[in-house]
Chain A
Amino acid sequence: MSRLLEVEALEVSFGAASAVRGASLALDRGETLCLVGESGCGKSVTALAVMGLLARNASRGAARLSFDGQDLRGLDERGMSRLRGNRMAMIFQEPMTSLNPAYTVGSQMAEVMLRHRGGTRAAAMARAEDLLGRVRITSPAMRLGQYPHQLSGGLRQRVMIAMALMCDPELLIADEPTTALDVTVQAQILRLLLDLQKDLGLAMLLITHDLGVVARVAHRVAVMYAGEVVETAAAADLFARPTHPYTRGLLACVPVPGKVARGAALGSIAGVVPRLGPGFSGCGFRDRCGEATAACGGTIARASAGEGHDYLCRLPPGWRAGAGAAP
């Protein structure tokens, strides 16, 4: 049986600038895959590429890009828009701007259903009210008539989630859904997403830069850097045995209460993210890596560090610092 979402060797570029240089990931029903990386790594572009929402000047190519067995590469805009909002839904980071301020919550939600499933407005509104209750919004009937500016950030994000669920999608892509929210609200929203996933059997692609969110929410993790997926593993495995030098560096940067002695320096990664101009080849991390050699400028083969755990580096799994010289 095919996996719900399969992406292999995805490449996206905007003119001469390359945003994604070869990303591969796969998602099953009921599973949460977290795509984690820092700014500019290409994670948001990857999600937009899957949804077919890239800007007009973007060029996209992939060895494989399929949703439930259907090849998305050849699908035209009409075909994609039949899938979007219907079987694949996306929610975004900024709750302030994700909802149209000129329409009520109810009419925006109903529009999604009317567009894909037809039926009467009353039926769509009833479903909207039902979903608002599901995302634990109090007084859902009243909320239908409210405008986005009357709701707080956390509430708006819940409305976004409810709107995404209107047509019972099989895949939910969430791009930094809690980054702009307060910490206590973030916890509530993430709990909600996990509960919904359990109840509805949703597959979730969660994009974030927050390793804490990844650890608590993900079944599987894909780490992106400079347009490539540099490591993929089950969540527990990634945190227990981080293999790619970037993943290790990243984990060392995060302050964990109790783990890093106060006053001691945090681990950090020297340098900055490289510019991916045309003709850039080899490992994108080599300028910042303590183990880089001349061989890192060429194509790097995908290596395995165990069952379901692979990474893009010459180093053997379990390497220690100073191992760079080894062939």
Chain B
Amino acid sequence: MSAAPIIDVRGVRRSFRVRQGLFAAPRHVAAIDGVSFSVGAGEVLGIVGESGCGKSTLARVILGLLPPTAGEVLVDGQRVADMDRRARARLIQPVFQDPFSSLNPRRRVRDVVSMPLDAQGDVPAAEARRRVDEMLARVGLDPSMGERYPAELSGGQRQRVAIARALVLRPRIVVCDEPTSALDVSVQAQILNLLAELRDALGLTYLFISHNLAVVEHVATEVAVMYLGRIVERRETSALFGAPAHPYTKALLASVLTPEPGLGIPDTGLGDAMPDPSNVPPGCSFHPRCPVATARCRVDIPATARVAGGQSDCHLL
């Protein structure tokens, strides 16, 4: 990692206060509990985890939509929290999961894609229109689609519009939060191919958040596994999928059901306890479900250990 990282997350924590009715004191739920990592320019970092792990919250903190309760996020060397909103918009943009709610139903497609340009305030209307048409064509939509309303488009087409909106300012980083999870398999493949092609053409860096490990394996150069607000493993993709280090990663990979008949359903060995972000176990937060937990795991938070192709937080390494 010789060049400076384009995304640098340092000790970020984010917790929420949850009211517990009129009489009990509010609880603090730590959605992100101390996350640090960096991403080099041009990479695709896949972030995987299940519900409650904090990956969507992390996406919003990195985008500058939520301030961290502690720690900081630097994008291209500047603190996101300090950046002017327009400068930040030129640097990092999102693509969200639900194509039905990520577009304003009351605006035409061309207005949706043009919104970031309008927010900049210094782009003349003719220029904006030209860039919108160009971007619609780039994502595989006919520019005449600009006149339609989102309700008239299919899920895949709406997601293309969302991608066009994200790229119209030519940002350097795109944060994709489950961009294909709500799409059919055949449409998902189209969108993933589009994202890969755009990354090569425009020199983008992606933060690709997903619960679908097969998709992440296909698109990411490096993968970070999150569990209850912490990153438990961060490796190069082939290293992680070839030889997972953390017990949670192993269980996660074992749960992936590839379309290969005859292999049955593996026993992940996780037991029946469910992760609860408002009730994080002491020590290693994974120990109640870990098939190889030791006494030490219940008490001490694991330190980061170096493994081939990356690092992982486990006492047993």
Contact = CB atoms under 8 A, between A and B. Distances in A.
Direct contact of A and B (CB under 8 A): yes
Interface of A: 38-39, 136-138, 152-155, 182-188, 190-191, 194, 209-218, 235-236, 238-240, 249-258, 260, 262-263, 265-270, 272
B50 interface: yes
B237 A262 contact: yes
Interface in B44-63: 50-51
A183 B256 contact: yes
Given A183-B255, A215-B258, A257-B258, A265 B196 contact: yes
Contacts of A211: 185, 259
B266 to A, nearest CB: 7
Contact of A254 (B185, B266, B268): B185
B298 to A, nearest CB: 20
16 contacts: A38-B184, A137-B272, A138-B272, A182-B50, A183-B211, A186-B257, A187-B265, A187-B268, A188-B270, A211-B259, A215-B259, A216-B263, A236-B261, A251-B259, A255-B192, A256-B214
A174 to B, nearest CB: 14
B104 interface: no
Contact of B218 (A210, A255, A269): A255
A183 B213 contact: yes
A95 B189 CA distance: 28
Contacts of A258: 241
A182 B211 contact: yes
B259 A254 contact: yes
Given A152-B274, A209-B185, A216 B196 contact: no
A59 B193 CA distance: 40
Closest 7 pairs between A and B when the two form their complex, measured CB to CB: A212-B257, A38-B184, A182-B50, A268-B189, A253-B189, A255-B218, A266-B189
Nearest to B190: A268
Contact of B265 (A216, A251, A260): A216
B217 interface: yes
A63 to B, nearest CB: 30
Nearest to B52: A182
A254 B183 CA distance: 13
B98 to A, nearest CB: 14
A38 B274 contact: no
Contacts of B261: 215-216, 218, 235-236, 238-240
A210 B184 contact: no
B50 A217 contact: no
Interface in B213-261: 213-215, 217-219, 237, 241, 251-252, 254-261
Nearest to A288: B186
Contacts of A217: 265
Size category of the B interface is: 35 or more
A306 B272 CA distance: 43
A256 B260 contact: yes
B78 interface: no
B295 to A, nearest CB: 23
A211 B262 CA distance: 13
Most buried by A among B156, B185, B260: B185
A118 to B, nearest CB: 33
A263 B274 CA distance: 35
A265 B189 CA distance: 8
A182 B256 contact: no
B264 interface: yes
B218 A266 contact: yes
A139 B73 CA distance: 44
Nearest to B192: A266
Interface string B161-194: 0000000000000000000000011101110110
Nearest to A269: B186
Most buried by B among A138, A209, A210, A256: A256
B215 A255 contact: yes
Most buried by A among B256, B258, B270: B258
Nearest to A260: B218
Contacts of A238: 261
Contact of A257 (B50, B185, B217): B217
Given A154-B274, A191-B265, A209-B184, A255 B156 contact: no
Given A236-B262, A249-B186, A257 B214 contact: yes
B117 to A, nearest CB: 29
B154 interface: yes
Interface in B258-316: 258-268, 270, 272, 274
Most buried by B among A153, A250, A257, A265: A257
Given A191-B267, A255-B214, A257-B217, A212 B258 contact: yes
B212 to A, nearest CB: 8
Contacts of A239: 259-261
Contacts of B270: 184, 188
A266 to B, nearest CB: 4
Interface in B30-70: 50-51
Contacts of A260: 218
A283 to B, nearest CB: 17
A269 B259 CA distance: 18
Nearest to B272: A138
Contacts of B185: 38, 209, 211, 250, 253-254
Contacts of A209: 184-185
B237 A182 contact: no
Contacts of B251: 184
B287 to A, nearest CB: 16
Contact of B189 (A39, A155, A214, A267): A267
Contact of B268 (A188, A212, A266): A188
